[in-house]
Amino acid sequence: MSCSQHSSFSSVSDTDCSLSSIILEKFKDVNLDVGQSANCRIDYKNTLVLLCAKCNIILGDSLGVCGEYADLNSVICLKVTEDVMVKGDQKPSLEGPLATCIYSSLQCSGCFSVVGGVLQATPPHLSAVRDYFLLQKDRINCYHIMNSTMVDGSTLNFEQKSIGEEISKLKQELESEMKRLELLKDLLCRGH
Cα first-last separation, the chain: 49
Measure the CA dihedral 136/138/144/150, to 10°.
-150
Q: Are residues 179 and 155 in the same domain?
A: no
Of 120 and 31, the structure prediction assigns the larger pLDDT to: 120
CATH number assigned to the domain comprising residue 125: 2.170.150.20
State the chain's mean pLDDT as an integer. Answer: 76
The whole model's pTM is what?
Answer: 0.61
> What's the gap between Cα 36 and its chain centre?
17
Least confident interval from 57-66, 91-100, 104-113: 91-100
Of 50 and 88, the structure prediction assigns the larger pLDDT to: 50
Q: What is the total count of domains within the chain?
A: 2
Residue 121 sits in which domain range? 4-160
Give the model confidence (pLDDT) of 60-92 as tens digits. 888 888 888 888 888 888 899 999 999 878 888
DSSP lists the bridge partners of residue 33 as none
Q: Are residues 127 and 173 in the same domain?
A: no
Percentage of the residues of the chain whose pLDDT score is greater than 90 = 19
Give the model confidence (pLDDT) of 145-187 as tens digits. 888 888 887 777 666 666 677 778 888 889 899 999 888 888 8
Q: Are residues 24 and 91 in the same domain?
A: yes
Q: Are residues 113 and 138 in the same domain?
A: yes
Q: Are residues 77 and 44 in the same domain?
A: yes
Q: Are residues 45 and 135 in the same domain?
A: yes
